[in-house]
Structure 1
Amino acid sequence: MLYLEDLNLNDVFESRRYVMTLDEILDFAERYDPQVFHTDAEAAKQHPIFQGLAASGWHTAAVVMRLWTECFPVAYGLIGSESHLRWPRPTRAHDEIRVHVHISDIQPSKRKLDRGIVTYETQALNQKDEVLLQSSTKILVFKREFSAN
Protein backbone atom coordinates (compact mmCIF):
# COMPACT_ATOMS: atom_id res chain seq x y z
CA MET A 1 0.00 0.00 0.00
CA LEU A 2 1.14 3.53 -0.78
CA TYR A 3 1.03 6.40 1.68
CA LEU A 4 1.53 10.12 1.12
CA GLU A 5 5.23 9.95 1.98
CA ASP A 6 5.72 7.19 -0.63
CA LEU A 7 4.59 9.45 -3.48
CA ASN A 8 6.69 11.96 -5.38
CA LEU A 9 6.04 14.47 -8.12
CA ASN A 10 6.37 12.84 -11.55
CA ASP A 11 5.94 9.28 -10.24
CA VAL A 12 4.40 7.09 -12.93
CA PHE A 13 2.21 4.00 -12.57
CA GLU A 14 1.25 1.68 -15.43
CA SER A 15 -1.57 -0.84 -15.43
CA ARG A 16 -2.03 -4.20 -17.05
CA ARG A 17 -4.07 -4.46 -20.26
CA TYR A 18 -7.81 -5.02 -20.07
CA VAL A 19 -9.69 -6.31 -23.15
CA MET A 20 -13.11 -4.70 -23.64
CA THR A 21 -15.51 -7.31 -24.98
CA LEU A 22 -18.57 -6.81 -27.15
CA ASP A 23 -20.75 -8.57 -24.57
CA GLU A 24 -19.56 -6.18 -21.85
CA ILE A 25 -20.24 -3.14 -24.03
CA LEU A 26 -23.78 -4.29 -24.79
CA ASP A 27 -24.53 -5.33 -21.20
CA PHE A 28 -23.26 -2.07 -19.69
CA ALA A 29 -25.13 0.00 -22.28
CA GLU A 30 -28.41 -1.85 -21.78
CA ARG A 31 -28.14 -1.37 -18.04
CA TYR A 32 -26.75 2.16 -17.75
CA ASP A 33 -26.46 4.03 -21.06
CA PRO A 34 -29.01 2.66 -23.54
CA GLN A 35 -28.22 4.86 -26.51
CA VAL A 36 -28.31 3.31 -29.98
CA PHE A 37 -24.60 3.84 -30.68
CA HIS A 38 -23.87 1.70 -27.61
CA THR A 39 -26.57 -0.97 -28.12
CA ASP A 40 -27.10 -1.57 -31.84
CA ALA A 41 -24.08 -2.26 -34.06
CA GLU A 42 -25.98 -1.79 -37.33
CA ALA A 43 -27.66 1.47 -36.34
CA ALA A 44 -24.36 2.74 -34.86
CA LYS A 45 -22.74 2.53 -38.30
CA GLN A 46 -24.96 5.46 -39.36
CA HIS A 47 -23.94 7.69 -36.43
CA PRO A 48 -22.09 10.80 -37.67
CA ILE A 49 -19.48 10.70 -34.89
CA PHE A 50 -19.08 7.06 -33.83
CA GLN A 51 -19.64 5.31 -37.20
CA GLY A 52 -19.88 2.01 -35.39
CA LEU A 53 -20.61 0.53 -32.00
CA ALA A 54 -18.80 2.34 -29.18
CA ALA A 55 -18.59 1.59 -25.48
CA SER A 56 -20.18 4.12 -23.17
CA GLY A 57 -17.65 6.65 -21.91
CA TRP A 58 -18.83 5.78 -18.41
CA HIS A 59 -18.03 2.13 -19.09
CA THR A 60 -14.52 3.13 -20.15
CA ALA A 61 -14.26 5.20 -16.95
CA ALA A 62 -15.36 2.20 -14.87
CA VAL A 63 -12.64 0.04 -16.46
CA VAL A 64 -10.11 2.80 -15.79
CA MET A 65 -11.23 2.83 -12.14
CA ARG A 66 -10.57 -0.90 -11.93
CA LEU A 67 -7.11 -0.51 -13.46
CA TRP A 68 -6.31 2.40 -11.12
CA THR A 69 -7.11 0.30 -8.06
CA GLU A 70 -4.73 -2.40 -9.28
CA CYS A 71 -1.73 -0.30 -10.34
CA PHE A 72 -2.00 2.61 -7.88
CA PRO A 73 -2.69 0.90 -4.51
CA VAL A 74 -3.20 3.82 -2.15
CA ALA A 75 -3.70 2.96 1.52
CA TYR A 76 -7.37 3.25 2.54
CA GLY A 77 -8.43 3.41 -1.14
CA LEU A 78 -8.69 5.96 -3.92
CA ILE A 79 -10.86 8.53 -2.17
CA GLY A 80 -11.69 11.02 -4.91
CA SER A 81 -12.37 14.66 -4.27
CA GLU A 82 -12.46 15.91 -7.86
CA SER A 83 -12.01 14.66 -11.42
CA HIS A 84 -12.15 16.13 -14.91
CA LEU A 85 -12.68 13.67 -17.77
CA ARG A 86 -12.36 13.78 -21.54
CA TRP A 87 -13.07 11.04 -24.05
CA PRO A 88 -11.12 12.01 -27.19
CA ARG A 89 -11.82 8.71 -28.99
CA PRO A 90 -14.43 5.98 -28.52
CA THR A 91 -13.60 2.65 -26.96
CA ARG A 92 -14.44 -0.27 -29.25
CA ALA A 93 -14.97 -3.98 -28.74
CA HIS A 94 -11.62 -5.78 -28.46
CA ASP A 95 -9.71 -2.63 -27.48
CA GLU A 96 -6.94 -3.45 -25.02
CA ILE A 97 -7.16 -0.68 -22.45
CA ARG A 98 -4.25 0.24 -20.19
CA VAL A 99 -3.72 3.27 -18.02
CA HIS A 100 -0.74 5.54 -17.54
CA VAL A 101 -0.89 7.53 -14.27
CA HIS A 102 1.39 10.51 -13.62
CA ILE A 103 1.56 12.31 -10.24
CA SER A 104 1.37 16.04 -11.02
CA ASP A 105 0.86 17.62 -7.59
CA ILE A 106 1.10 16.73 -3.90
CA GLN A 107 -0.34 19.11 -1.32
CA PRO A 108 -0.05 18.11 2.35
CA SER A 109 -3.00 19.36 4.37
CA LYS A 110 -2.31 22.41 6.52
CA ARG A 111 -5.11 21.57 8.97
CA LYS A 112 -5.03 17.76 9.11
CA LEU A 113 -1.40 16.78 9.30
CA ASP A 114 -2.01 13.07 8.69
CA ARG A 115 -3.10 13.52 5.04
CA GLY A 116 -2.84 15.42 1.80
CA ILE A 117 -4.32 15.83 -1.67
CA VAL A 118 -2.59 14.15 -4.59
CA THR A 119 -3.36 15.16 -8.17
CA TYR A 120 -2.69 12.70 -10.95
CA GLU A 121 -3.12 12.79 -14.70
CA THR A 122 -4.34 9.67 -16.45
CA GLN A 123 -4.34 8.53 -20.02
CA ALA A 124 -6.25 5.39 -20.94
CA LEU A 125 -4.74 4.02 -24.12
CA ASN A 126 -5.72 1.26 -26.50
CA GLN A 127 -3.45 -1.25 -28.24
CA LYS A 128 -2.57 1.38 -30.90
CA ASP A 129 -1.58 3.92 -28.20
CA GLU A 130 -4.64 6.01 -29.07
CA VAL A 131 -6.01 7.98 -26.11
CA LEU A 132 -9.49 6.81 -25.12
CA LEU A 133 -9.83 8.76 -21.87
CA GLN A 134 -7.88 11.59 -20.26
CA SER A 135 -8.44 12.74 -16.72
CA SER A 136 -7.08 14.91 -13.99
CA THR A 137 -8.05 13.57 -10.59
CA LYS A 138 -7.53 14.67 -6.99
CA ILE A 139 -7.57 12.11 -4.20
CA LEU A 140 -7.14 12.14 -0.45
CA VAL A 141 -4.03 10.20 0.60
CA PHE A 142 -3.11 9.44 4.21
CA LYS A 143 0.30 9.36 5.82
CA ARG A 144 1.42 6.22 7.62
CA GLU A 145 0.69 7.76 11.00
CA PHE A 146 -3.00 8.30 10.12
CA SER A 147 -5.20 8.64 13.18
CA ALA A 148 -8.95 7.98 13.06
CA ASN A 149 -9.48 10.52 15.86
Structure 2
Amino acid sequence: MLYLEDLKVGDRFQSQNYEMTLEEIKSFAGKYDPQVFHMDEDAAEEHPIFQGIAASGWHTSAVTMRLWTECLPIAHGLIGSETSLRWPKPTRPGDFIHVDVEIVAIHPSKSKSDRGIVTYITQAKNQHGDVLLISTTKVVVFKKEFKLCQDRTV
Protein backbone atom coordinates (compact mmCIF):
# COMPACT_ATOMS: atom_id res chain seq x y z
CA MET A 1 0.00 0.00 0.00
CA LEU A 2 1.17 3.52 -0.80
CA TYR A 3 1.26 6.43 1.63
CA LEU A 4 1.83 10.13 1.04
CA GLU A 5 5.59 9.75 1.57
CA ASP A 6 5.74 7.05 -1.13
CA LEU A 7 4.40 9.31 -3.88
CA LYS A 8 6.13 11.99 -5.91
CA VAL A 9 5.08 14.33 -8.69
CA GLY A 10 5.65 12.57 -12.00
CA ASP A 11 4.83 9.06 -10.73
CA ARG A 12 2.85 7.12 -13.32
CA PHE A 13 0.56 4.14 -13.03
CA GLN A 14 -1.17 2.02 -15.68
CA SER A 15 -4.06 -0.39 -15.23
CA GLN A 16 -4.93 -3.63 -16.85
CA ASN A 17 -7.47 -3.73 -19.70
CA TYR A 18 -11.22 -3.93 -19.21
CA GLU A 19 -13.53 -5.00 -22.06
CA MET A 20 -16.74 -3.04 -22.60
CA THR A 21 -19.35 -5.45 -23.94
CA LEU A 22 -22.57 -4.53 -25.71
CA GLU A 23 -24.57 -6.40 -23.07
CA GLU A 24 -22.90 -4.48 -20.22
CA ILE A 25 -23.35 -1.13 -22.01
CA LYS A 26 -27.08 -1.77 -22.46
CA SER A 27 -27.49 -3.07 -18.92
CA PHE A 28 -25.78 -0.06 -17.33
CA ALA A 29 -27.78 2.33 -19.51
CA GLY A 30 -31.03 0.59 -18.64
CA LYS A 31 -30.34 1.08 -14.95
CA TYR A 32 -28.64 4.50 -14.87
CA ASP A 33 -28.72 6.38 -18.20
CA PRO A 34 -31.63 5.13 -20.34
CA GLN A 35 -31.01 7.07 -23.51
CA VAL A 36 -31.61 5.58 -26.93
CA PHE A 37 -27.99 5.90 -28.13
CA HIS A 38 -26.89 3.67 -25.21
CA MET A 39 -29.58 1.03 -25.65
CA ASP A 40 -30.92 0.69 -29.21
CA GLU A 41 -28.49 -0.12 -32.01
CA ASP A 42 -30.79 0.94 -34.84
CA ALA A 43 -31.78 4.25 -33.27
CA ALA A 44 -28.18 4.91 -32.25
CA GLU A 45 -27.07 4.60 -35.90
CA GLU A 46 -29.27 7.62 -36.68
CA HIS A 47 -27.87 9.77 -33.86
CA PRO A 48 -26.15 12.90 -35.26
CA ILE A 49 -23.14 12.64 -32.93
CA PHE A 50 -22.71 9.01 -31.86
CA GLN A 51 -23.75 7.22 -35.08
CA GLY A 52 -23.85 3.91 -33.23
CA ILE A 53 -24.13 2.51 -29.73
CA ALA A 54 -22.00 4.38 -27.22
CA ALA A 55 -21.51 3.60 -23.55
CA SER A 56 -22.78 6.15 -21.09
CA GLY A 57 -20.02 8.51 -20.00
CA TRP A 58 -20.97 7.56 -16.44
CA HIS A 59 -20.38 3.91 -17.30
CA THR A 60 -16.93 4.78 -18.64
CA SER A 61 -16.36 6.74 -15.43
CA ALA A 62 -17.43 3.78 -13.26
CA VAL A 63 -15.06 1.46 -15.13
CA THR A 64 -12.31 4.05 -14.75
CA MET A 65 -12.94 4.04 -10.98
CA ARG A 66 -12.55 0.28 -10.90
CA LEU A 67 -9.32 0.48 -12.87
CA TRP A 68 -8.01 3.24 -10.54
CA THR A 69 -8.60 1.05 -7.50
CA GLU A 70 -6.69 -1.79 -9.13
CA CYS A 71 -3.63 0.23 -10.19
CA LEU A 72 -3.38 2.87 -7.43
CA PRO A 73 -2.86 0.91 -4.19
CA ILE A 74 -3.38 3.89 -1.88
CA ALA A 75 -3.50 3.01 1.82
CA HIS A 76 -7.03 3.37 3.21
CA GLY A 77 -8.52 3.69 -0.30
CA LEU A 78 -9.07 6.38 -2.91
CA ILE A 79 -10.95 9.00 -0.94
CA GLY A 80 -12.00 11.58 -3.48
CA SER A 81 -12.27 15.25 -2.65
CA GLU A 82 -12.71 16.77 -6.12
CA THR A 83 -12.73 15.84 -9.79
CA SER A 84 -13.35 17.29 -13.22
CA LEU A 85 -13.78 15.13 -16.26
CA ARG A 86 -14.40 15.11 -19.99
CA TRP A 87 -15.37 12.43 -22.48
CA PRO A 88 -13.65 13.42 -25.73
CA LYS A 89 -14.66 10.24 -27.62
CA PRO A 90 -17.38 7.68 -27.02
CA THR A 91 -16.67 4.26 -25.60
CA ARG A 92 -17.92 1.57 -27.97
CA PRO A 93 -18.85 -2.09 -27.56
CA GLY A 94 -15.68 -4.16 -27.85
CA ASP A 95 -13.38 -1.41 -26.58
CA PHE A 96 -10.67 -2.54 -24.21
CA ILE A 97 -10.16 0.30 -21.76
CA HIS A 98 -7.10 0.96 -19.61
CA VAL A 99 -6.15 3.99 -17.56
CA ASP A 100 -2.90 5.94 -17.49
CA VAL A 101 -2.50 7.98 -14.31
CA GLU A 102 0.11 10.65 -13.52
CA ILE A 103 0.61 12.37 -10.16
CA VAL A 104 0.79 16.12 -10.87
CA ALA A 105 0.66 17.71 -7.39
CA ILE A 106 1.08 16.77 -3.74
CA HIS A 107 0.01 19.15 -0.98
CA PRO A 108 0.41 18.16 2.68
CA SER A 109 -2.57 19.34 4.73
CA LYS A 110 -2.02 22.54 6.71
CA SER A 111 -4.63 21.60 9.32
CA LYS A 112 -4.23 17.80 9.58
CA SER A 113 -0.63 16.65 9.81
CA ASP A 114 -1.42 12.99 9.09
CA ARG A 115 -2.52 13.49 5.46
CA GLY A 116 -2.33 15.44 2.24
CA ILE A 117 -4.11 15.99 -1.06
CA VAL A 118 -2.72 14.27 -4.15
CA THR A 119 -3.80 15.49 -7.58
CA TYR A 120 -3.56 13.17 -10.56
CA ILE A 121 -4.56 13.25 -14.20
CA THR A 122 -6.17 10.18 -15.68
CA GLN A 123 -6.61 9.24 -19.29
CA ALA A 124 -8.86 6.28 -20.03
CA LYS A 125 -7.87 4.94 -23.44
CA ASN A 126 -9.10 2.22 -25.74
CA GLN A 127 -7.02 -0.35 -27.59
CA HIS A 128 -6.33 2.18 -30.38
CA GLY A 129 -4.96 4.79 -27.97
CA ASP A 130 -8.06 7.01 -28.31
CA VAL A 131 -8.71 9.01 -25.14
CA LEU A 132 -12.25 8.21 -23.98
CA LEU A 133 -12.11 10.01 -20.64
CA ILE A 134 -9.73 12.53 -19.15
CA SER A 135 -9.98 13.72 -15.58
CA THR A 136 -8.15 15.69 -12.96
CA THR A 137 -8.82 14.25 -9.52
CA LYS A 138 -7.84 15.13 -5.97
CA VAL A 139 -7.73 12.43 -3.30
CA VAL A 140 -6.91 12.36 0.38
CA VAL A 141 -3.78 10.30 1.05
CA PHE A 142 -2.59 9.47 4.56
CA LYS A 143 0.96 9.53 5.86
CA LYS A 144 2.55 6.41 7.32
CA GLU A 145 2.34 7.94 10.79
CA PHE A 146 -1.47 7.73 10.50
CA LYS A 147 -1.22 3.96 10.13
CA LEU A 148 1.18 3.68 13.06
CA CYS A 149 -1.12 5.79 15.22
CA GLN A 150 -4.12 3.65 14.29
CA ASP A 151 -2.25 0.38 14.92
CA ARG A 152 -1.44 1.46 18.50
CA THR A 153 -5.10 1.95 19.34
CA VAL A 154 -6.20 -1.50 18.22
- Scaled to the shorter chain, the TM-score interval is over 0.9
Alpha-carbon distance in 1 for matches of 2:96, 2:105? 28
Alpha-carbon distance in 1 for matches of 2:109, 2:141? 10
Q: Answer yes or no: is 1:88 the counterpart of 2:82.
A: no
Query: Could you say which residue in structure 1 is the equivalent of 2:54?
Result: 54
Matches within 5 A, 1:123-138: 123-138=123-138
Q: Aligned AA for 2:26? A: L
Write out the 4+ residue segments of structure 1 that deviate beyond 4 Å after TM superposition.
none
Alpha-carbon distance in 2 for matches of 1:87, 1:102? 18
Query: Could you say which residue in structure 2 is the equivalent of 1:17?
Result: 17
Matches within 5 A, 1:54-133: 54-133=54-133
Q: Aligned AA for 1:59? A: H
Q: Aligned AA for 1:47? A: H
Give the 3-state SS of the residue equivalent to 1:145 in structure 2.
helix
Query: Could you say which residue in structure 2 is the equivalent of 1:142?
Result: 142
Alpha-carbon distance in 1 for matches of 2:86, 2:138? 15
Q: Aligned AA for 2:28? A: F
Query: Could you say which residue in structure 1 is the equivalent of 2:8?
Result: 8
Give the 3-state SS of the residue equivalent to 1:44 in structure 2.
helix
Alpha-carbon distance in 2 for matches of 1:76, 1:42? 45
Q: Aligned AA for 2:75? A: A
Alpha-carbon distance in 1 for matches of 2:2, 2:65? 17
Alpha-carbon distance in 2 for matches of 1:7, 1:135? 19
Alpha-carbon distance in 1 for matches of 2:22, 2:51? 16
Give the count of matched residue pairs: 149
Name structure 2 gaps, 5 residues minimum: none
**1:111 CA displacement:** 1.3
**1:110 CA displacement:** 1.3
Alpha-carbon distance in 2 for matches of 1:78, 1:41? 36
Give the 3-state SS of the residue equivalent to 1:119 in structure 2.
strand
Alpha-carbon distance in 2 for matches of 1:18, 1:53? 18
TM-score, length-scaled by structure 2: 0.95
CA RMSD for the aligned pairs? 1.0
Query: Could you say which residue in structure 1 is the equivalent of 2:44?
Result: 44
Give me the identity figure in percent: 66
Alpha-carbon distance in 2 for matches of 1:2, 1:48? 45
**1:91 CA displacement:** 0.2
Alpha-carbon distance in 2 for matches of 1:85, 1:48? 23
Higher helix share: 2
